[in-house]
Amino acid sequence: MGRREGDPPPPLLLPLCLLLCLPFCPPRLAAARPPAPHLVLVLADDLGWGDVGWHGSAIRTPRLDALGAGGVRLERYYTQPLCTPSRSQLLSGRYQIHTGLQHQIIWPCQPSCVPLDEKLLPELLKEAGYVTHMVGKWHLGMYRKECLPTRRGFDTYFGYLLGSEDYYSHDRCVLIKAKNVTRCALDFRDGEEVATAFKNMYSTNLFTERAIDLIASHKTEKPLFLYLAFQSVHEPLEVPEEYMKPYSSIKDVKRRHYAGMVTLMDEAVGNLTDALKRYGLWDNTVLVFSTDNGGQTLAGGNNWPLRGRKWTLWEGGVRGVGFVASPLLKQKGVESHALIHISDWLPTLVHLAGGHTNGTKPLDGFDVWKAISEGRPSPRVELLHNIDPMFVDDFPSKHSLWHKGWD
C-alpha cells in the first residue's frame, strides 16, 4: 500500500534527511573574543609616597589624583629601592638575583645589561600581535647594540640610555676618578641614532609630545603597547620657572624645585590620557602608573609617613605609588590592599593581551589582574627584595648627590 500525502516518513529515512540537511544548517557562532586592550605603562622616576595628593601632599597632582580615584589605587604595592633593579624586574618578571643585577645599578661605563637570553615584556607582546613603543629612560644597559631597546622588543625608541642627565641639554657628566676629570656627552637617541636636535627642550615635554604623536598615528588594526618612562622627578632638580611659582611659600629650594617637577609631570600624564580619549583608544586601554622606587629625600622627595628613602630597604625606599586606570576594570574608585610587586606586571599584562609566557625563564611575578580588577585575593603572599652579600651602602645621608652622578 503506497504512502499517502501528509504521512510521516518511515523511521529509517529520518537519519538520512538529517544528514542531508546538515551542510545547509547555519553553524552556531562562537562567542567572539574581545579585542586585545591597548596597554600604556607610565613609570615615574623617584616619586615619593608622600608626593601625591591622595597621600596628603601639598604638591598639586590633580590629574594623577583623578585617574587613581576613578580606577584602582594600589596601596600595598612594592618596587625595588633603585632604578635598574626595578626596571629589570618590570620588563623581565624576574627577581634581580636571577638576572645578575642585584648589585646596585648599571653605571655609565659598566659593561652590563639585562642578560640577552631573558625574554622581555615587549618581545612577548609583539608575539601577541602588539605594536610596541618606548619613550624615555632605559637604564638597562647599552654597552652592546644587542642591549638596546630596539633589540629587546620595541619597534621604536626615543629617550636616553643611562640613569640620569640634564633635562635641557640631555648631557650626562661623569667623573673619571682615575684621571680626575669630568667628561660630558650627549645621551639622547631616536631609535639607535644619536638625536642632536633637541637641545634646550625640557625632557618631560619632549617625551609627552612623542608619546602623543605615537598615539595619534597608531593604526588600530593592532593593539598598542606604550612604555613611557619619564625622567621626572629624578635629580638634577630642573623645571621651568612657571611651575615653581605656585610653591613660592616652600622655603626649601630643593623641595620647591621638586614640587614644580611633580606638577609638570602630573600635567603630562593628563595630556597623555586626553590624547588617548581624543584619538579613540581610551575605552579599550589599560593604563598602569608606577614609580620605580621611593622618593629621594636628599633631593626634595618625601615618603612620609614611611621610613627611609631611595637606596634603602625601609618602606620609604620600596613601597611605591601606583594605580591602574581603565574603563575595562570591573571595580573602580577603590583602594586595593592586595600585595603586588613590580615584577607582577609582565605576567599580568601578557595575559591581558592574550599572549603567553611559555618562552620565558621561570617567572617570579604573578598575574594579579583579578586582584586589581575584581578585588580578589592576590596570588602573591611574599616577595623578595634582594640577596646581595656584596652590597655596601656607600651613599650616607651627608654624601653629595652630585658626586654620586645623580643616580
Catalytic residue ranges: 83, 139
Q: How many CB atoms are closer than 10 A to CB 124?
A: 26
Q: What angle do CA 263, 268, 270 make, to 5 degrees?
A: 95
C-alpha 167 chain-centroid distance? 20
Nearest to 228 by CA among 266, 269, 281, 274: 269
Q: How many CA atoms are closer than 13 Å to the CA of 95, on its beta-carbon side?
A: 11
CA distance 310 to 306: 12
Distance CA 74, CA 170 (A): 33
Torsion over CA of 110, 150, 131 and 41, rounded to 10 degrees?
A: 20
β-strands 285-291, 38-44 pairing:
parallel
C-alpha 187, offset from chain centre: 21
Please spell the DSSP secondary structure of 178-221, one letter per residue. Answer: TTTEEEEEE--EETTEE--TTTT--HHHHHHHHHHHHHHH--TT
Residues 20-44: b if buried by 16+ CB within 10 A, e if exposed:
eeeeeeeeeeeeeeeebbbbbbbbb
Greatest Cα pair distance in the chain: 117
The answer to whether 239 and 257 are in contact (CB under 8 A) is yes
How far is CA 205 from its chain centroid?
18
CA 388 from centre of chain: 25
Q: For residues 174, 193, 170 and 48, what is the CA-based torsion angle, rounded to 10 degrees? A: -90
| 3-state secondary structure (DSSP) of residue 71 | coil
* All cell numbers assigned to 61: 597632582
